Amino acid sequence: MRVYHFSEEPYPDAWGAERPSLRITLPNEICDPKVTHRLYNRYIDEWMLADELGFDIMLNEHHSTATSLTASANIILSILARVTERARLLVLGVPVGNRPDPIRVAEEMAMIDCISQGRLEFGMIKGVPYEIEPANSNGVSLMRRFWEAHDLIIKAMTTHDGPFNFEGEFFHYRNVNVWPRPYQQPRPRVWISTATPANAREIGQKGHVLASFMGGIAETVKLHKAYAEGYRAGGNAGPLSVDNFAYLAMCGVGSTEAEGRRRCDVIADYLRTNAQVADPFNKPPGYFSVEAAVRSARSLNPRAFRTLYTPSGRAVELSTASLDDFIECGIAFAGTPDQVYQQICAFVDGIGGLGNLLLMGQGGKLDAADTTDSMKLFAREVMPRLKEREARRPAFEAA
């Protein structure tokens, strides 16, 4: 098992429950360049610490928001490619359906892979609904564009005998010939995130890594099952490794239970503020199916784009959920190292194994002291046990 440290690199001073919108409409006059300078460098220090402690590294990107200063994950990754030594560098991911130029993506990925000596893990994502507006991409054709970009990028990374022609529905190039080649041959692994079994099946067919975010045991089991079906239908041979699965949760560790819980509770404000988006930017047309849009319009909180359920089926309202709600749902691990270890083991056993645990170890207003202490406790007292335990786990379908 690999454990990835993840942070969205927030701008905490502007992040508050009192703001009607943390995204898209929040003026950047409250984004102080001097503070931003300090924050970027603080987060880079934390990524470097993650590398030293034995974590791998996960970044993503968001736009027009105080919740994340990572407007380009590739820029931070380029720095980390040089200043870290051993960590895998996961971008999860590049919103390829929102980017205008897939060839540029292929080039940047290959550069980062070469600079880091083959440590890139390449995630492609659809992106959350409120990313549609900053990119001004059309939600109606988003997934057609996503898959066309996916195909083009992979072909560009793996074609070595000179230019090829590409004239698709969205992207047109007469001479695709990307320099450099990626360091990893034939190409870095591709990861794709989803929350629906239909997409999980398609990702399985292609044999990519399936990442899911904070779905809890029941939802994750459904996704992994659909993935396995697709994996077989796609003609992929050999045992299906748990390395093809990744799951993201929040994590806070402390010397005492109270300290670990407090840290995770601060991180959890990341989720609680998810729906803090100016209406109607959380519901771009075409992003959700018409059926889902109808269901959502009739739901308890039409502004939320996602509802969480406990294992017993209780609906949890994200904006007011307690830390215990999140722990019960399997999307937060919090407390002492022992407690966190037990919670993770229970979760991983519940889904039949996991090769890549993605941990949001910094979120919201969690400061550098709390973040690094939590990371150190995890690295020293949880990670070795977890890695040793999971190294003995059989392939997914044998489990």
Partner 1 sequence: MTRDLRQHELNGVTLGVETAGAGRDILYLTSGMWFGDDSPFIDRLAAHGRVIAPVAPGFGPGDPGARMTTIDDIAYFYLDLIDALKLRNVLLVGASFGGWIAAEMAIKNCRDIDAITLIDPLGVKIGDRETRDIADLYGLPDAELRARAYVDPSIFVSDVKAISDEELTRRMRARESLARYGWQPFMHDPKLLGRLHRVDAPTQFIWGAQDRIVTPAYGREYARRVPGARFVEIANAAHFPQAEQPGAVVEAIISHAGAPRAAAR
Rounded-to-integer distance, Cα 101 and Cα 94, Å: 12
Task: Give the residue, chosen from 12, 139, 234, 350, that forms a contact with partner 1 under the rule CB under 8 A.
Answer: 139
Q: Residue 212: beta bridge partners?
A: 247
Task: Give the residue, chosen from 47, 270, 281, 305, that forms a contact with partner 1 under the rule CB under 8 A.
Answer: 281
201 φ, ψ to 5°?
-65, -45
Length of the chain: 399
Closest-CA residue to 63 (of 9, 122, 100, 6): 9
Interface with partner 1 (CB under 8 A), residue total: 19
Kindly tell me which of 218 and 293 has the beta carbon lying closer to partner 1. 293
Task: Give the residue, chosen from 78, 138, 159, 319, that forms a contact with partner 1 under the rule CB under 8 A.
Answer: 138
Task: Give the residue, chosen from 182, 215, 284, 355, that forms a contact with partner 1 under the rule CB under 8 A.
Answer: 284
Rounded-to-integer distance, Cα 323 and Cα 332, Å: 8
Binding segment toward partner 1, per CB under 8 A, in 61-69, 279-287, 359-367, 388-396 = 279-287
Binding segment toward partner 1, per CB under 8 A, in 71-79, 111-119, 181-189, 275-283 = 275-283
Rounded-to-integer distance, Cα 236 and Cα 47, Å: 35
Task: Give the residue, chosen from 18, 169, 172, 391, that forms a contact with partner 1 under the rule CB under 8 A.
Answer: 169
Kindly tell me which of 197 and 302 has the beta carbon lying closer to partner 1. 302
């190039």: which residue's tokens?
A: 173
285 binds partner 1 (CB under 8 A): yes
Rounded-to-integer distance, Cα 63 and Cα 85, Å: 29
Rounded-to-integer distance, Cα 352 and Cα 164, Å: 42
CA atoms within 13 A on the CB side of 88: 20
Kindly tell me which of 306 and 376 has the beta carbon lying closer to partner 1. 306
298 binds partner 1 (CB under 8 A): yes
217 φ, ψ to 5°?
-65, -50
Task: Give the residue, chosen from 13, 85, 279, 367, that forms a contact with partner 1 under the rule CB under 8 A.
Answer: 279
Binding segment toward partner 1, per CB under 8 A, in 11-19, 218-226, 250-258, 289-297 = 289-297
Rounded-to-integer distance, Cα 67 and Cα 274, Å: 9
CB of 96 to partner 1, least distance (A): 18
């130029």: which residue's tokens?
A: 101
Binding segment toward partner 1, per CB under 8 A, in 4-12, 26-34, 281-289, 358-366 = 281-289
Kindly tell me which of 25 and 310 has the beta carbon lying closer to partner 1. 25
Strands (E), the chain: 2-6, 56-59, 89-94, 120-124, 164-167, 172-176, 190-193, 209-213, 245-253, 308-309, 315-316, 332-335, 356-360
Closest-CA residue to 236 (of 198, 200, 208): 208
133 binds partner 1 (CB under 8 A): yes
Task: Give the residue, chosen from 36, 72, 78, 141, that forms a contact with partner 1 under the rule CB under 8 A.
Answer: 141
Binding segment toward partner 1, per CB under 8 A, in 204-212, 257-265, 292-300, 323-331 = 292-300
**Per-residue contact track with partner 1, 52 to 71, x per CB under 8 A?**
--------------------
Binding segment toward partner 1, per CB under 8 A, in 98-106, 121-129, 136-144, 155-163 = 136-144
Rounded-to-integer distance, Cα 265 and Cα 152, Å: 41
Which chain residues interact with partner 1 by CB under 8 A?
Answer: 133, 136, 138-141, 144, 169, 279-281, 284-286, 290, 293-294, 297-298
